[in-house]
A and B are shown apart, each in its own frame.
Chain A
Amino acid sequence: MKLLSAIILGVFAYIGLHYSVLRQPLTIGYIKGAYDFKTQYAKSLGEARKIVILGGSSSLFGVRCQVIAEETHLPCVNMAVTAGIGIDLMLTKTEGVIHPGDIVILPLEYDFYSTKAEDLLANATANTYLATYDHSLLAQQEWRRIGTALLSLSIEDVYSSLVEMSLQTIGVQRRFRISQLTAQGDMTGNTLELAADYSSYIASVPGIVPKVEDGAGLTLINSFIARQLQRQVHIYGTDPTTVDDGTNLAPGFLAVEQVWLQSGAKFLALPNRGRYPQNWFYDTAYHLNETGQINHSKALAEHLKTAEGINNGPP
């Protein structure tokens, strides 16, 4: 009886701490803040037709909506925050700001095309996000996901929370901050000068290979495409930005492209498939530096100008 009481008390205390006390403001809190900021901008556009960028941090660092908006004369919102939150929550968080007639571009990180259901369930970032910062989204999840999120607090999370809460109290800020975002939600501050510190690290990182495998990730992408097409949204897949290490990735590119085409969506295939030299990147092999970001966005906008849906309303 003593043991049972101890266990029950432990579970309640643990969930209570996770749900309402411990926070990770610099890492997980940033995700919530970034989504709120971007959603607010998207909503401020009302029912006006707009371009929406949906992806992980490669789109946050790799796409400048400012540039795309200037080139296409359509408002653009960069809804990309981080791939760490998982394809399921990423799609859900953005779907609410998409209206019929919008042009949605998804430069999804290649990992999402082979994500498995168990990866989604075990996603520590997503679970912590749900349990600590987005209780309304948590309530929309199925019971298994709710249980997983509430029981996702690891011993490392406890330390991270205590450290991040302390750092926030003394005013320490994260390397990437919401204040660095443009009004449209693009990341700035990823300058060439700062990128120099990371050059040797990027040189050591292996190349990224596109891969498509059946699983929860692919199912979610396909159903998202189907829903948007039904809502008369113009939906485009495209490649994320990656380091060009000379490897022949044609089969992987073809497989990714087929996902979109077979679902009835379009695919914006840039001539270089989003591959750039190492010195175009900032701190990881997925994140472009500012110069690379602007140039890549110009190339993307150039392609978009001729894309269906740019010059007209719902198809």
Chain B
Amino acid sequence: MLFHSPEFLFAFLPVTLVLFYALSRLGAGVAVVWLLVASLGFYAWWDWRYLGVLVPSILFNYGIGEAIRSRERSARKVMLWLGLGGNLVTLGIFKYGTFFSETINGLIGAPVIWFPEIGLPLGISFFTFTQIAYLVDVYAGKVTTRDPITYGLFVTYFPHLIAGPILHHAEMMPQFRDPNAGRLNWGHLQSGFALFLIGLFKKLVLADTFGQWVGPAFDQAQTLSFVEAWSASLSYTFQLYFDFSGYSDMAIALGLMMNVQLPVNFNSPYRACNIQDFWNRWHITLSRFLRDYVYIPLGGNRRGSTRTLINLFLVFLIGGLWHGAGWTFIAWGAVHGLAIVLHRLWRGTGLRFPSWFGWLATFLFVNAAWVLFRAESWDDALKVYRGMIGFSGFSLPAQIMMLMPPALQTLFTSVVTLPWISGGTIMGLVNCALLLMTAIGLVLLPVNSQGLLNRPLLYVACTAAFPFVVQAVMFRQTASTFLYFRF
């Protein structure tokens, strides 16, 4: 059930909200049970068989958590490793099994390992990481809440279950148990619906519009000329941002409707002036997880500067692998890791670039790296890079060239149409350019959707957003899923 599907908007959400507030009168515990049932139902709607992974995973981790709590120090460590191992094996089987078997078979040159084709349960990376953090914190003695129903809801809470934000038990479990959580707060409800609308606008109007230009260029074209390659890469850069931040806005908004505060996941990442700043603003809850549960356990910055740089690189490599079982994802993580290392070294020199240069360099780097993230194969990525560098020619439709100054015209070859962007139409190409400019303007605005909360500007944004959201829902040929569902 997608957040923008009619069954969610007109059935699941109203029923869940009404019953949540009605049952809250009977006590917070009853409301928690209802939300757990609703969340499991929400998950089962995709494919009920995946409950066979999710529910045992919850029971296993809760059980391990309880075992860690009740045992002596040495046994606790064994239980922790057992828990971590169980989670990583589950993730390995469902997400990385095929990738590793194909890689090994490819290296050997013969099919020595066979791995069955099994579907990837939705949100497995999210609910596995969430529970790993829980176990580590139980081991560290940081977890006080022990109620299994609240734990189950913390893992399955439907606003975040499929694509995050990655929640931390300490910020969620007390909220579910708060007796005031079930009190109807019209202010929260209104703000929640307004933020949800902004999220829908980001997803349906912006991300999906960019998305229609990305697929043909990345997946079908044999070669891409300069303008096509840049249009495709920039379109994906904005598609991914508006898709994922739109989803995060909707998740936060749904939480708000139930008086639950979910963590912010985006803070205008494309305004970052260096790569570290970018990672402080993009998918914040993943960065937080990797810092707390990978970087710091690896030693963080406590073991000298060289080890710090290695740790940073490793964290990004793992981050790449977390996103997907493929070498292009690993390469994407590696280039970001390398960029972070270079940034650290540069910062150590004490030299500084002007902020506009820092912004431009960061944005162009992030944009170029997303090509690896999006490409289905190395060949597809190289095709886009070749186009962006200009190795596949500089072409423009004759009708557009006619409007350009003569000096600029000499740079391009006149063609009838650029077939791989915007459906090959002239007006489509113009629209693509204008929407890219609008997107750059939007991501550079000093106020983002989180900043709009509790400000009159939020309702001005809703005035503009609502009719376009209705238009997008009405004219949608097929419902598009969120990009981060595959992770």
Contacts and interface: CB of A to CB of B under 8 A. Distances in A.
Given A3-B193, A155-B205, A10 B399 contact: no
A7 interface: yes
Interface string B454-484: 0000011011111110111011010000000
A27 B463 contact: no
A6 interface: yes
B190 interface: yes
A220 to B, nearest CB: 21
Contacts of B417: 201
Contacts of B467: 10-11, 13-15, 151, 153
B209 A155 contact: yes
B416 A201 contact: yes
Interface in B159-200: 190, 193-194, 197
16 contacts: A2-B459, A3-B462, A6-B466, A10-B462, A10-B465, A11-B470, A124-B475, A151-B467, A151-B474, A154-B475, A155-B209, A155-B468, A156-B431, A159-B435, A201-B419, A204-B419
A6 B427 contact: no
B398 interface: yes
B471 A151 contact: yes
Nearest to B470: A151
A197 B413 CA distance: 13
B112 interface: no
B431 A160 contact: yes
Contacts of B428: 156
A9 interface: yes
B439 to A, nearest CB: 11
A148 interface: yes
A66 interface: no
A122 interface: yes
A152 interface: yes
B463 A163 contact: no
A1 B187 CA distance: 10
Interface in A198-233: 198, 201, 204
B3 to A, nearest CB: 18
B98 to A, nearest CB: 33
Give the secondary structure class of A's interface.
helix
Contact of B471 (A9, A152, A201): A152
A6 B460 contact: yes
A17 to B, nearest CB: 9
Give the secondary structure class of B's interface.
helix
Contact of B463 (A9, A154, A204): A9
Contact of B435 (A152, A155, A204): A155
A151 B465 CA distance: 13
Nearest to B475: A122
A129 B431 CA distance: 19
Q: How large is the interface on B (under 10, 10 to 19, 20 to 34, 35 or more residues)?
A: 20 to 34
A11 B466 CA distance: 7
Given A6-B463, A14-B467, A151-B467, 6 more contacts: A6-B459, A122-B475, A124-B475, A151-B470, A155-B435, A156-B435
A170 to B, nearest CB: 9
A172 interface: yes
B470 A160 contact: no
Interface of A: 1-3, 5-7, 9-11, 13-15, 27, 122, 124, 148, 151-156, 159-160, 163-164, 172, 175, 197-198, 201, 204, 283
Given A7-B463, A10-B463, A154 B416 contact: no
B444 interface: no
Contacts of B193: 3
A198 B416 contact: yes
B344 to A, nearest CB: 40
Contact of A159 (B403, B431, B463, B466): B431
Nearest to A198: B416
A3 B194 contact: yes
B434 interface: yes
Nearest to A172: B403
A9 B193 CA distance: 16
B430 interface: yes
A182 B462 CA distance: 49
Contacts of B471: 151-154
Given A11-B467, A154-B471, A160-B427, A3 B190 contact: yes
Nearest to B433: A159
Residue from the set A153, A155, A175, A198 with the largest chain B CB neighbour count within 10 Å:
A155
Contacts of B463: 6-7, 9-10, 13
B420 to A, nearest CB: 12
Contacts of B472: 154
Nearest to A201: B416
Contacts of A2: 190, 459
A235 B435 CA distance: 46
B399 A175 contact: yes
Contacts of B206: 155
Nearest to A119: B477
Residue from the set A7, A11, A151 with the largest chain B CB neighbour count within 10 Å:
A7
Contacts of A11: 466-467, 470
Contacts of A164: 427
A231 B474 CA distance: 38
Residue from the set B209, B463, B477 with the largest chain A CB neighbour count within 10 Å:
B463
Contacts of A204: 419
A235 B29 CA distance: 73
A76 B194 CA distance: 58
A122 B205 CA distance: 16
Contacts of A6: 194, 459-460, 462-463, 466
A217 B9 CA distance: 32
Nearest to A5: B459
B209 A156 contact: yes
A14 B471 CA distance: 10
Closest 5 pairs between A and B when the two form their complex, measured CB to CB: A14-B467, A10-B463, A6-B459, A6-B462, A6-B463
Contacts of B419: 201, 204
Contacts of A201: 416-417, 419
A133 to B, nearest CB: 17
B464 A10 contact: yes
A154 B477 CA distance: 14
Nearest to B193: A3
A204 B416 CA distance: 13
Contacts of A198: 416
B466 A163 contact: no
A148 to B, nearest CB: 7
Contacts of B427: 27, 160, 163-164
A143 to B, nearest CB: 14
Contacts of A122: 475, 477
Contacts of A172: 403
Contacts of A151: 467, 470-471, 474
